[in-house]
Amino acid sequence: MANFRTHITVACALSGALATTVLYADMATPGEAMALWGIGTVGGLCPDLDSKNSMSQCIVFILCCGLFCLSLGSQLPAVMPLPMAIVTILGSMALLYHQILPRLCAFMNHRGNCHSLLTAVLASLTITNIAAYLLGRGIESAYLIGLFFFGGFLSHLVLDEIYAIDLKHRKLKKSFGTAIKPFSMTAPFSTLMLGALCWLQFWITPSTSSLKMVLSKLTKATLMTLG
């Protein structure tokens, strides 16, 4: 499989190119394009959450804690004294980083459902809904965020599959077919759970007509850039 440097380089390059395209198509401001670039790059690291103590896992943990801190910081000072809010935020972040996230990842088997299209879709839909309903982004902007994350996630899966092809000896490695798959056949319970969550996230997503419009604009902008 590809190493950390390869994954982050490719995800960063692809997300950067797409963010530039979005910027030139007037679909985002420069600041929003930079944020989308970062989201796509992070998406390229997320499939390795099932790899215990990996650099990707550490980075994603830190980003999750940062986002959680930002969310609490925007709400708690209005309902409790500032010193108590700070203590609550710091305590929650420590609990999230050292207990909750590691325990969740402990249930994942390497190259299991985390390396699947089902998880990619679920994570992208969840991020879209968070952006739309919790962060107050516009529908098209929320879908852009989800699509950038999906693109980064997918780049990771494709790279791992490519690295499972031994061109020198003209053969496939044992890992071929484990990186990119619809879902894991060896983990039926988690597959059913992820499928149910994916259906739920899809059910509450904003109007899908906006998604079609975003995809249409992205396609036209990409074709214009290539042309």
Amino acid residing at 29:
T
Task: Give the model's confidence band at 71: pLDDT under 50 very low, under 70 low, under 90 confident, else very high.
Answer: confident
2 occurs within a structural domain: no
Q: For residue 104, what are the domain limits?
A: 52-109
Kindly state the average pLDDT of the residues 70-99: 82
64 and 25: one domain? no
Distances from the Cα of 188 to the Cα of 40, 174, 181, 195, angstroms: 29, 22, 14, 10
88 and 149: one domain? no
Task: Give the model's confidence band at 15: pLDDT under 50 very low, under 70 low, under 90 confident, else very high.
Answer: very high
Tell whether the model's pLDDT for residue 150 goes beyond 90: yes
Task: Give the model's confidence band at 167: pLDDT under 50 very low, under 70 low, under 90 confident, else very high.
Answer: low
E-assigned strand segments in the chain: 165-166, 171-172
Scanning the chain, the segments in alpha helix (DSSP H) are 4-24, 30-43, 55-73, 82-95, 101-106, 117-129, 139-162, 188-204, 208-226
Tell whether the model's pLDDT for residue 199 goes beyond 80: yes
Kindly state the average pLDDT of the residues 83-92: 86
104 and 116: one domain? no
Give the total number of structural domains in the chain.
2
Query: Token digits for 2?
Result: 């590809």
97 and 164: one domain? no
In whole numbers, what is the pLDDT of the chain averaged over residues?
83
25 and 134: one domain? yes
Model pLDDT, residue 108 = 62
199 and 142: one domain? yes
d(CA 113, CA 194): 9
164 occurs within a structural domain: yes
Question: Which of 65-69, 88-92, 117-121 shows the lowest mean pLDDT across its residues?
Answer: 65-69
Cβ distance 45 to 8 under 8 Å?
A: yes
3 occurs within a structural domain: no
74 and 129: one domain? no
Query: Token digits for 9?
Result: 């380089």
105 and 194: one domain? no
217 occurs within a structural domain: yes
169 occurs within a structural domain: yes
Model pLDDT, residue 171 = 61
Cβ distance 155 to 45 under 8 Å?
A: no
Query: Which is more confident, 220 or 56?
Result: 220
Task: Give the model's confidence band at 106: pLDDT under 50 very low, under 70 low, under 90 confident, else very high.
Answer: low
16 and 121: one domain? yes
Give the end-to-end CA distance of the chain in Å, rounded to a whole number.
Answer: 33
